[in-house]
Amino acid sequence: MDGAEASVDPHPRPLAREAAEGSHPAVSQSDEGQVSPRPRSGRGAGGEGAPLGEFALIERFFSRPSAERQGIGDDCALIDVGSQTLALTSDMLLEGVHFLPDADPQDLGHKALAVNLSDLAAAGARPRCFLLDLALPRADDAWLTAFSRGLFALAHHHGCALIGGDTTRAPAGAAGAGLLTIAITAIGEVDRTRYCGRSGARPGDDIWITGSTGEAALALAVRRGQVEIAEPARAACLLRMDRPTPRLELGRALSGTATASIDVSDGLMGDLGHILERSGVGAALYWPAIPRAPVFAALPLALQYQCVLAGGDDYELVFTAPASRRAAVARMAGDGVGVSRIGQIESAPGLRLRDGDHAAAPLIDIALQSFDHFAAPPPGPSGAS
Ligand code: ADP
Ligand code: MG
C-alpha cells in the first residue's frame, strides 16, 4: 500500500469536479440493486416543483436542432468548414467552485487549458488553437506571470496557439473581492470519417478506460481534511487533481476503432451514463477490473467506490469498442498510457456494477452520485473547503 491511513470521513460527501459543489444522483439505485445513469425524469429532470439538474436544464432551455455536423450533446461540437471538420469545446473554471482561492496560478493555467483539450481528446481531435476569457479581481503581475507560464507550457506542448479572448475586471461582490473566472474555448481538427461521439455504443461492445480514476477525487478529500494519506501517494494524487493530462494522442489513435467516447470530468459512472443514454443501451461494469492506484487498497471500500466510480476531475477517456478490436486497442495503448477493459455494453437499459468480470457476477448494491452543478442549493464560498 502507498501509505494510506486512518481519519477517513465515514460519510464522504460527493467528490467531484469540485470543491464547493452540490450534487445529484446522476447515478441512482433501482429496486434490483442496479445503478442507472442520469434519469431523464424524476429528481433533477425539472419535473413540476423539482429542481432542475444541470443536464436537464441544458436539454430544456438550450438544446435545439442545428444544421452543423454535431451540436449540443457530445464533448465537442463539430462544424464543417470547406473540406475540414473542426471540433469546438468550451469549459470554465470558477473560483470557489472549481478551485480554491489559494490555488497555484501555474496549475490553474495548465488546468484551464487541459480540461478543454480533454474534450478534444474525447472527440479524437488534434488541438489547433484556443480563445481565453478572463474575469480578474485584480491585475496581479506575479499571478499573471505564473498563470500564463502554466497555460503556455501546455499550449506549446500540443502546438495549440492562443488566438484571442476577452479580459475584464471581476466586480467586487457583497462579500468583498471579485471572484476569478477562467473560460477557454478550444478548437481542434477531426477526421470526419473516423469521428465517434457519445452515441455509437452497441450491445456487446467492450467498455475501456485509459489510466485510472479516483485519485483526483481523493486529493480533494485530502485538501478538505477528510482523509489522510502519506507521501508519496499524497503528492501523486494532488498532481492528478492540479495537473490533469489530456489523453490526446490515444484519443486520436482510437478514432476509427472506438464506437463511443467521453472524457471523465464528472465521474466514471455518470459520464459513462451519458454514453449509455445517447446510445440507447445499458452496461455492466466489472468492479475488480476497474484500475485504481495502490493507495486505495488501504481505504474503506465505500470511499473507493465514491472516488473511483463517481469522483470527478480525472480527465481519462472512457470508450467502447467491438470485442473483435481488443488486440487493436491494446496495441494503440502501447507503451503510453495504459487501457483497461472494465465492462460491457448490454441492451438492457441501466448500469449494473458487478463484483466479478462477467455478466453473471453478483451485483454490487450501491448508490453513487456524480457531479451536477444544480442538484442542490449552491453552498456559500466557505463550502469550497
Ligand atoms: P463536458 O463535460 O464534456 O464539457 P458538459 O457536460 O459540460 O460537457 O455539457 C454537455 C453538453 O451540453 C455539451 O455538448 C455542451 O457543449 C453542452 N452545453 C453545456 N452548457 C451549454 C449551454 N449553456 N448552451 C449550449 N450547450 C451547452
Ligand atoms: Mg467532456
- At residue 336, the pLDDT reads 78
Q: For 64, which DSSP code?
A: -
Q: Which residues line ligand 1 (CB under 6 A)?
A: 58, 62, 72-75, 91, 119, 265
Ligand 1 atom with the shortest distance to the CA of 265: 2
Name the residue with the closest Cα to ligand 1, atom 8.
75
pTM across the whole model: 0.87
Taking the CA of residue 75 as reference, the ligand 1 atom at the shortest distance is 3
The residue whose CA is least distant from atom 16 of ligand 1 is 72
- Distance from Cα 70 to the centre of ligand 1, integer Å: 12
pLDDT value, residue 20 = 32
Name which residue sits closest to atom 11 of ligand 1, judged by CA.
73
Query: Is the pLDDT at 301 greater than 60, yes or no?
Result: yes
Closest ligand relative to 58 C-alpha? 1
- Whether residue 126 has pLDDT greater than 60: yes
Distance 346 CA to ligand 2 centre (A): 23
pLDDT tens track for 163-205: 999 999 998 876 677 899 999 999 999 999 999 999 999 999 9
Residue 263 CA to ligand 2 center (angstroms) comes to 5
Average pLDDT (148-176) is 93
The ligand 1 atom at the shortest distance from the C-alpha of residue 71 is: 14
Average pLDDT, rounded, for the chain: 86
Query: How far is the centre of ligand 2, averaged over its atoms, from the C-alpha of 71 (Å)?
Result: 14
Determine the residue type at 88. L
- From the CA of 258, how far away is ligand 2's center (Å)? 16
Q: Determine the average pLDDT of the residues in 40-63.
A: 71
Distance 313 CA to ligand 2 centre (A): 10
pLDDT of res. 342: 98
Which residue type is seen at 266? Answer: D
The pLDDT of residue 23 is above 50? no
Grid cell 492528478 is found at: 240
Identify the sign of the CA torsion 281, 286, 291, 294: positive
Residue 381 pLDDT class (50, 70, 90 cuts)? very low
Backbone CA torsion sign across 298, 299, 302, 304: negative
pLDDT digits (tens, 9 = 90+) for 325-363: 999 999 988 767 899 999 999 999 999 999 999 989 999
Return the higher-pLDDT residue of 297 and 9: 297
**Residue 382 reports pLDDT greater than 60:** no
Distance from the alpha carbon of residue 116 to the mean position of ligand 2, in angstroms: 8
Instruction: Please give the number of the atom of ligand 1 that sits closest to the Cα of 89.
Output: 16
Contacts of 380 (CB under 8 A, 6+ apart): none
Question: Residue 305, class by beta-carbon neighbours within 10 Å (0-12 exposed, 13-18 middle, 19+ buried)?
Answer: buried
Sheet with 206-210, side-by-side order of all strands: 28-29, 35-36, 350-354, 282-286, 339-346, 206-210, 317-321, 260-263
Q: Which of 75, 88, 111, 372 to mutate to test the pocket of ligand 1 (most atoms within 8 A of CB)?
A: 75
**Among protein residues, the one whose CA lies closest to atom 19 of ligand 1:** 58
Which bound ligand lies closest to the C-alpha atom of 59? 1
Residue of 24, 58, 277 best suited for mutating to test ligand 1, as the one with most atoms within 8 Å of CB: 58
Residue recorded with cell 494519506: 229
Determine the distance separating the centroid of ligand 1 and the alpha carbon of 85, expressed in angstroms. 19
CA of 264 to the centre of ligand 2 (A): 7
Residue nearest to atom 13 of ligand 1 (CA): 73
How far from 104 is each of 63, 197, 234, 246, CA to CA, in Å?
A: 36, 33, 17, 19
Residue 41 identity: S
CA–CA separation, 127 vs 88, rounded Å? 10
Whose alpha carbon is nearest atom 3 of ligand 1?
Answer: 75
CA of 121 to the centre of ligand 2 (A): 9
The answer to whether 16 and 310 have CB atoms below 8 angstroms apart is yes
Report which DSSP code applies to 373.
T
Residue 367: is its pLDDT beyond 60? yes
Q: Quote the radius of gyration of the chain (alpha carbons, Å).
A: 20
State how far the alpha carbon of 61 is from the alpha carbons of 46, 57, 58, 231, 257, in Å: 11, 6, 6, 46, 34
The tens digit of pLDDT for each residue in 211-252 reads 999 999 999 999 999 999 999 999 999 999 999 999 999 999
In ligand 1, the atom with minimum distance to the C-alpha of 266 is 2
The residue whose CA is least distant from atom 15 of ligand 1 is 72
Burial code of 98-126, b = ≥16 C-beta within 10 A, e = fewer? Answer: bbbeebbbbbbbbbbbbbbbbbbbbbbbb
C-alpha cell of residue 50: 423539482
